[in-house]
Amino acid sequence: MLEKKTVIFKSPDLSKLKEVIIDHRTKIYIAPGADVEEAKSRYLSLIATRKIR
């Protein structure tokens, strides 16, 4: 009989990441050394392209 392997998904430790607030209800987490403004603009451009499709 075949047994399925259990899928183990390891979540990142949010205490080791930097929180970036996009708006009053949206937060993203980036690496501590990453640029906040670049991450914010990349996130907003990603959302804008999703709305167009």
Kindly state whether residue 25 falls inside one of the protein's structural domains: yes
Q: Looking at the predicted structure, is the pLDDT value of residue 53 above 80?
A: no
Kindly state whether residue 30 falls inside one of the protein's structural domains: yes
Number of domain units in the chain? 1
Say which residues have a Cβ less than 8 Å from residue 39's Cβ, sequence separation at least 6. Answer: 20, 28, 30
What span, in angstroms and rounded, lies between the C-alpha atoms of 24 and 8?
A: 32
Kindly state whether residue 45 falls inside one of the protein's structural domains: yes
DSSP-derived letter for residue 32 is: T
Residue ranges with strand state E in the chain: 18-23, 26-30
Say which residues have a Cβ less than 8 Å from residue 32's Cβ, sequence separation at least 6. Answer: 16, 17, 18
Supply the pLDDT for residue 50: 84
Which pTM was predicted? 0.72
By three-state DSSP, how is residue 2 classified? coil
Q: Looking at the predicted structure, is the pLDDT value of residue 52 above 90?
A: no
Domain of residue 23: give its range: 14-52
